[in-house]
Amino acid sequence: MINIRRNEARGTANFGWLNAKHSFSFGSYHDPRHMGFGPLRVINEDRIRPGAGFDSHGHQDMEIITYVIDGALEHRDSLGSGSVIRPGDVQCMTAGTGIRHSEFNRSKDDPLHLMQIWIVPERAGLTPGYEEKNFPVESRRGQLRLVASRDGRDGALTIHQDTDLYAAVLAPGETVTQVVGAGRKAWVQIVGGGVDLNGEFLDEGDGAAIEDIDALTIAAIDDSEVLLFDMADA
């Protein structure tokens, strides 16, 4: 079964400096039909004006993944981590018992476009942690590149949940396939372009919740960028 979450159906928030779209309930947007999917709790697509951002704020008991699409994000946190992440970089924070951080658009001229993803960890009270890695576009081109997983295999970031996050950059006509094991589910998020997912068309910004399907075939119709979550049926 594939349930499509269309781009235009997502929740929205526009604060002037921030224009956000929410796949699941978040902040002032609340829809009891869309509170998450499996361990996925948040998929936010944020566009941040030059020089603007989030002042220091706290999180707890959440795995927070940031995937930069365009621009440069400046990050500082209470662990002493500080960096600028750009397209190809993926950042993961284990909020655990508590972490504070700030996030700003590094540029004074160019907008910042990113995906922020929250995953509920397998247990509460974890020790806070921070990790980031670069996954060059060449490593994602024409294939599903593992960028985060519970075991950190194949050079992926480590998260504390039985969820594998893949990223792919596809040219028109390219196809990738993911076998979904028994007792697992998946979510596909279209970062850019348009694809055919098992016969269903997904456009930029669309997402799809997948259950009781053994294999997923993603065929690019346009130049496309895709995130795929393969996760335990939590």
Is the pLDDT reported for residue 166 higher than 80?
Answer: yes
Q: Specify the fold of 8-135.
A: Jelly Rolls (2.60.120)
Question: Which two structure tokens, joined as six digits, stand for 131?
Answer: 């990790």
Is the pLDDT reported for residue 80 higher than 80?
Answer: no
The domain spans of the chain are: 8-135, 138-232
Q: Which CATH number fits domain 138-232: 3.90.1300.10, 3.40.50.1000, 2.60.120.10, 3.90.78.10?
A: 2.60.120.10
CATH fold match for the domains 8-135 and 138-232: yes
Is the pLDDT reported for residue 48 higher than 70?
Answer: yes
Length of the chain: 234
What DSSP line would sit under 135-179, residue for residue? --HHHHBTS-EEEEESS-GGGPEE-SSSEEEEEEEE-TT-EEEEE
**pLDDT at site 129:** 92
- pTM above 0.75? yes
Whole-angstrom distance, CA of residue 158 vs CA of residue 121:
12
Whole-angstrom distance, CA of residue 124 vs CA of residue 183:
23
Per-residue pLDDT of 105-137, as tens digits, reads 988 899 999 999 999 999 999 999 999 999 999
**CA angle at 189 for the pair 88 and 124, rounded to the nearest 5°:** 80
Question: Which two structure tokens, joined as six digits, stand for 9?
Answer: 């159906």
Question: Which two structure tokens, joined as six digits, stand for 129?
Answer: 């942690």
